[in-house]
Amino acid sequence: MAQRQGESVTESEDSASGKHTAAARHENVMNGATVPDSVDLAEDEVCSLELPHKTSHLESVGLRKSKRFGNVFGVEMSPDTIAIAMVYFVQGILGLSRLAVSFFLKDELHLDPAETAFLTGISSLPWLIKPLYGFISDGVPLFGYRRRSYLALCGLLGALCWGSLAMFIDSKYGAMAAILLSSLSVAFSDVVVDSMVVEKARGESQGASGSLQSLCWGSAATGGIASAYFSGYLVETYGTRYVFGVTAVMPLITSAVAGLVQEEPLKAPSDDPKVMLSKTAQFISTSKSQLAFLWQTVKEPSIFWPTLFIFLWQATPTSDTAMFFFTTNHLGFGPEFLGRVRLVTAVASLVGVGLYNTYLKDVPLRNIFLWTTLLGTALGLLQG
């Protein structure tokens, strides 16, 4: 049990680092390889003869089954991968509320730029403690499941938060609590699906892992495109609370796809107080050993330096709030026009996913990080 929990925590930590490194936003993604039977092996060998290069088991099986079921970004769409894709799609489509939140804080709560930046910055706090969610989901299963139940709960929490913003919250403290808890629901669900991605990508080639990442980010970008334009149009036409109400429906998709997750139920815990006390002590002991193992892992150069890079990258101040006040107060941009700008941004994200999946997923990551950092710095200087 301790070994299983240790592996799951490592998965959560891997995913917390991987997703930040792969794109420029929140955080995210990626157990073991399956053992195919003799028929599968024979079919895989036939498939491998038709490929111009050696492929991993995931790639060959995905290609073989795609003739019957189809695939997206080279990934076979099994129930698990559909659940992963839909959770990321929800993350993207929740951008529907982004402009509504900004205009709600600025025009209805009458917050200044500093207060707005502080309140929106608070929403990133749940993303800073993502490894903790791995400990919780692995050590404290709900209703016999470590993943299904947490995904369902996260969706319900998100819907409750956005619904409360739509109906009755009218203070900055209430808004801060609702935004914080909604961010927590997204971050927790992100850790759960990240561990699923880690299991599927472990032991596979960089290309196969890259295909999984492309599926994740492509789903998020698709959700972003679906919500981008309407985020501004709906605010301008119906108001911010209407947008919050529509947004409240989206997290329920996460709850709905939780049933697709392939997971065996755990045995019901005993009601004997002695047994429960023993399991609690075991959980505490295991958590301590996992934390010690996590610290040893972080000190490894191959983990420490990428982690430091991500920390410095995320610690860089952004101009999001200042830019919003500048474009609305000084340039006079309305919600609908800003929605069009977000649409262009979302399309660019999807194009970036396509370019990576087509040309860059086999390129050394070090080279990608170097050139994207230099290019991002150059483009960022244009804002000055």
* CATH code, domain carrying 121: 1.20.1250.20
Rounded to the nearest 10 degrees, the angle between the axes of helix 301-315 and helix 273-298 is: 90
| pLDDT reading at 1 higher than 60 | no
Buried b vs exposed e over 309-345: b needs ≥16 C-beta within 10 Å? ebeeebeeeeeebeebeeebeeeebebbebbeebbee
Q: Is residue 180 part of a domain?
A: yes
Query: What pLDDT does 276 receive?
Result: 63
| Residue ranges with strand state E in 127-274 | none
Amino acid at 194: D
Q: What share of the chain is helix, strand, coil (3-state, %, to 5)?
A: 75, 0, 20
Lowest-pLDDT range of 68-82, 242-256, 327-341: 68-82
Are the CB atoms for 23 and 91 separated by under 8 Å? no
DSSP 144: T
Q: Is residue 14 part of a domain?
A: no
| pLDDT, mean of residues 348-377 | 84
Domain count, the chain: 1
The residue with greater pLDDT, 245 or 128, is: 245
| pLDDT reading at 255 higher than 90 | yes
Which of 227, 229, 224, 219 lies closest to 354 in space, CA to CA?
219
Are the CB atoms for 10 and 297 separated by under 8 Å? yes
Query: What pLDDT does 154 receive?
Result: 95
| pLDDT reading at 194 higher than 50 | yes
Per the DSSP assignment, residues forming a β-bridge with 142 are 145
- Host domain of residue 150: 71-282+329-359
Q: Is residue 322 part of a domain?
A: no
Q: Is residue 211 part of a domain?
A: yes
Q: Which helix (H) or strand (E) holds 353?
A: helix 335-355
Which of 199, 209, 216 lies closest to 360 in space, CA to CA?
209
Tokens in use for 126?
A: 């749940």
Query: What pLDDT does 101 receive?
Result: 93
| pLDDT, mean of residues 278-296 | 75
Contacts of 332 (CB under 8 A, 6+ apart): none
Per-residue pLDDT tens over the stretch 12-66: 444 434 434 333 444 333 333 333 333 333 333 333 333 333 333 443 333 334 3
Contacts of 323 (CB under 8 A, 6+ apart): 383
Percent of the chain with pLDDT over 90: 24
- pLDDT bracket for residue 268 (50, 70, 90): low
Per-residue pLDDT tens over the stretch 103-155: 999 999 999 988 888 888 888 889 888 888 888 887 788 888 888 999 999 99
| pLDDT, mean of residues 166-176 | 92
Rounded CA-CA distance 206/214 in Å is: 12
Q: What is the pTM of this model?
A: 0.68
Q: Is residue 65 part of a domain?
A: no
Query: What pLDDT does 215 receive?
Result: 82
Q: Is residue 366 part of a domain?
A: no
- pLDDT bracket for residue 3 (50, 70, 90): very low
Q: Is residue 228 part of a domain?
A: yes
Q: Is residue 35 part of a domain?
A: no
Query: What pLDDT does 270 receive?
Result: 57
